[in-house]
Amino acid sequence: MRLLFVFFLSCSIYFTCDSFLSANEFYYQGDYKEALDQYQKCEKNPSYSLYYNLGNVYFKLQKYGLSRYNYEMAKVLSPTNQNLKYNLSLLKNKLNDDVDSKLFVSSTLFDLEVEYLLIILSVLFSISFLYRAKIGKYLWVVSLVFIILMVVSYQSLFFKSVRSGIILPVETQIYSSQDISSAVLGRVHTGYKVKIVQVLKDWVLVEFRLNNSGWVPAQEIAIIGDLNELETISSE
């Protein structure tokens, strides 16, 4: 199974980062370390293309924590991209662990594919136009209710969004307090996705299993959605 690679350039990268093209060439030549160096020169202009290709490079370099972090950052910018979903599935198979997905069970209608929601609405409206009798009126009501539920669901997702992070080291211990001498509550591997509960200077409180929380050293986790995080962790 091969990773899918991004051929297009975002406008911001095309006009402000010449290194992106060079990085692509090094990637195709199999020189992944040099490709990484070139991509990192573009980090001041983050985009879906950059995060996606960084995810591919880190995957090739077997740095799976950083690979997943960059894929997840790309997902923030393009949540329904099929190429990204495919590569993420390859990475999850490589990690051989699907436990973290139980922490992020979909709870809103808006988590469904937007295309599918539009198709459902189109079908309902089409049928309502074809049948102008009572069934048509009922379908109009159903359609309006469905739209209202989508709006409410989206607002719930927006205002109650859950921050998450990716474990970077090969293995990380979860502590009961902000002290490495405290009790170890569990262990998680590189690429594992956790919920962020609280962020302090040197420690991050995470939920690593359902209803199970503990502390992780801040340098061992990359928080998804923080566009300033990439420059810090990629240089380590």
pLDDT at 27: 92
CA atoms within 13 A on the CB side of 186: 13
User: Is the pTM higher than 0.75?
Assistant: no
Range(s) of the domain holding residue 215: 164-234
Which CATH number goes with the domain that contains 195? Answer: 2.30.30.40
Alpha-carbon gap, residue 169 to 64, rounded angstroms: 9
Give residue 210's pLDDT: 82
Please report, in angstroms and rounded to a whole number, the separation of the first and last CA atoms in the chain. Answer: 29
Q: HEC states along 98-127?
A: CHHHHHHCCCCHHHCCHHHHHHHHHHHHHH
- Surface-to-core class of residue 140, CB atoms within 10 Å of its CB (0-12 exposed, 13-18 middle, 19+ buried): middle
Q: List pLDDT tens digits, range 96-139.
A: 765 555 555 444 444 445 555 556 666 666 666 555 555 555 66
Amino acid at 54: L
Q: What is the CATH number of the domain that holds 62?
A: 1.25.40.10
Query: What residue has token string 């810090």?
Result: 232
Same domain, 19 and 92: yes
Is residue 3 a part of any domain in this protein? no
Q: Are 134 and 181 in a shared domain?
A: no
Residue 102 lies in a domain: no
Q: How many residues does the chain have?
A: 236
Instruction: Indicate if 129 and 155 belong to the same structural domain.
Output: yes
Of the CA atoms within 13 Å of residue 71, those in its CB half-sphere come to 30
Residue at 2 is within a domain: no
Tens of pLDDT, residue by residue over 23-72, are: 999 999 999 999 999 999 998 888 889 999 999 999 999 999 999 999 99
66 and 20 assigned to the same domain:
yes
